[in-house]
Structure 1
Amino acid sequence: MSGAGAPTITVDGAGARVAIVASQWHTQVMDGLIAGAQSALADAHVTDVTLVRAPGSFELPILCQAYARQGFDAVIALGVIIRGGTPHFEYVSAAATDGLNRVALDTGVPIGFGLLTTDDEAQALDRAGLADSREDKGREAVEAALATWNVLRALA
Structure 2
Amino acid sequence: MSGKGAPRVAVEDSEGLRVAVVAAQWHQTVMDGLVDGALRALDELGVDRPTLLRVPGSFELPVAARALAAKGYDAVVALGVVIRGGTPHFDYVCQGVTQGLIQVGVDHGVPVGFGVLTCDTEDQALDRAGLPGSAEDKGHEAATAAVATAATLRSLAGPRDRNPAREAVG
Letter of the structure 2 residue corresponding to residue 105 of structure 1: V
Instruction: Give unmatched runs, 5+ long, in structure 1.
Output: none
Q: How does 1:1-156 map to 2 (within 5 A)?
A: 1-12=1-12, 13-156=14-157
22-31 vs 141-150, greater mean Cα deviation:
141-150
d(CA) in 2 for partners of 1:10 and 1:136?
17
Distance apart, 1:7 and its partner CA: 1.0
Distance apart, 1:97 and its partner CA: 0.3
d(CA) in 1 for partners of 2:46 and 2:19?
11
d(CA) in 2 for partners of 1:155 and 1:107?
16
Contact 1:81/1:89 (8 A) holds in 2: yes
Contact 1:16/1:48 (8 A) holds in 2: no
d(CA) in 2 for partners of 1:58 and 1:23?
8
d(CA) in 1 for partners of 2:146 and 2:51?
15
d(CA) in 2 for partners of 1:24 and 1:15?
28
Distance apart, 1:155 and its partner CA: 1.2
d(CA) in 2 for partners of 1:9 and 1:115?
19
Distance apart, 1:48 and its partner CA: 2.7
Runs (4+) off by over 2 Å: none
CA RMSD of aligned residues (A): 0.7
Distance apart, 1:36 and its partner CA: 0.2
Contact 1:78/1:113 (8 A) holds in 2: yes
d(CA) in 2 for partners of 1:24 and 1:150?
29
With normalisation by structure 2, the TM-score equals: 0.90
Contact 1:104/1:111 (8 A) holds in 2: yes
Greater CA radius of gyration, 1 or 2?
2
Letter of the structure 1 residue corresponding to residue 70 of structure 2: R
SS of the aligned residue for 1:84 comes to: coil
With normalisation by structure 1, the TM-score equals: 0.98
d(CA) in 1 for partners of 2:69 and 2:56?
18
Instruction: Give unmatched runs, 5+ long, in structure 2.
Output: 158-170
Letter of the structure 1 residue corresponding to residue 37 of structure 2: G
